[in-house]
Amino acid sequence: MSQLRDRMVRDMQLRRLSDNTQRVYTYAVFGLAKRYMKSPDQLSDEQVQDYVLYMLNERKLAWSTCDTNVAGLQFFYGVTLGRNSMRLALPPRKSEKRLPEILSAEEVSSLFAATNNIKHRVLLQSAYSAGLRVSELVHLKITDIDSDRMMIRVNQGKGNKDRYTLLSPRLLQGLRDYWRQYHSATWLFPGQNPARPLDRSSAARVFDAAKEKAGIHKVGGIHSLRHAFATHLLEAGVEARTIQILMGHRSILSTMRYLQVTRKKLGTTQSPLDLLAIPDPAKFR
């Protein structure tokens, strides 16, 4: 399996798949091999198809998770092994459209106040103040902080695109205080091995711990800070196009969805009931 894994990783790197995609695809093949306790190149098409049914019917994985696993298996069998006869595509299924539960400004403040560790606090403040995805957050380098222009450079964000986003003066001061304690050499938020960045799951646990300590019960993980960034900027009157650029959205439609959850827009809109001139019921008695 190790040789097959190396071949698959090589194939993914040649096609410039993201690190996260490589990790997910590799795990999909590992799960298949673990299920049958056999090398995946020894499995028949029918066995692989049965594994997809197993994920759906027995493990009851989310449709999106199954879809991602199927994509990984298709890559392994179609590209790495050259078995183009494999047919694993799941039929399209409408996904549920759910609006995020937005943290209020007060809740964000309480989240930061509940974090005593300066590294953890600055980590969360960076995610919120710059509207970063967690993968972008943990891969920030010291050199990405441009204090002269008051900008943060995001290298190879989603879609392998670079962009710039805001550097808050308050965050800059926090980063300087943090650096004086930790003296990070390369990564802004290094992991236990200073040569490697903090992993995404560790950043997520930092958020979850602060959220629990702050007594916040809204649904959502560390990505909630990115949602709050967009929503709070819209409520402050910042144009959607500007927010689109800061967040790295490919389409303005991705940004416009936050209009559905902005308190300023919704809270100041009157119900049609309040616009009616309703006669006094006493007149009809």
Angle, in degrees to the nearest 10, between helices 45-57 and 19-36: 100
Active site residue 10: no
Q: Where are the alpha helices (DSSP H) in the chain?
A: 2-14, 19-36, 45-57, 63-75, 105-113, 118-130, 134-138, 169-182, 200-213, 224-235, 240-247, 252-256, 263-267, 272-275
Active-site residue (options: 120, 121, 133, 227): 133
Task: List phi, psi (to 5°) of 146.
Answer: -100, 90
Rounded CA gap, 185 and 22, in Å?
27
Which residues lie below 8 Å from residue 31, measured CB to CB, with a gap of 6+? 69
Q: Which residues contact 141 (CB under 8 A, 6 or more apart)?
A: 155, 186, 187, 188
Q: Which residue among 120, 226, 227, 232 is the active-site one?
A: 226
Record the tokens describing residue 224, joined without a space.
């909630």
Catalytic site includes residue 217? no
* Distance between CA atoms of residues 94 and 56, nearest Å: 16
Q: Which residues pair with 141 in a beta bridge?
A: 187
Is 90 within 8 Å of 66 (Cβ atoms)? yes
Is residue 133 annotated as part of the catalytic site, yes or no?
A: yes
Q: Which of 23, 223, 257, 264 is catalytic?
A: 223
Burial 169-184 (b: 16+ CB within 10 A, else e): eebeebbeebeeeeeb
- Mapped onto helix, strand or coil, the DSSP state of residue 85 is coil
For residues 142 and 21, what is the distance between their CA atoms, to the nearest angstrom? Answer: 25
Q: Which of 158, 200, 205, 264 is catalytic?
A: 158
264 classed as catalytic: no
Q: What secondary structure letter does DSSP report for 190?
A: B
Mind telling me the catalytic residues?
A: 133, 158, 223, 226, 249, 258
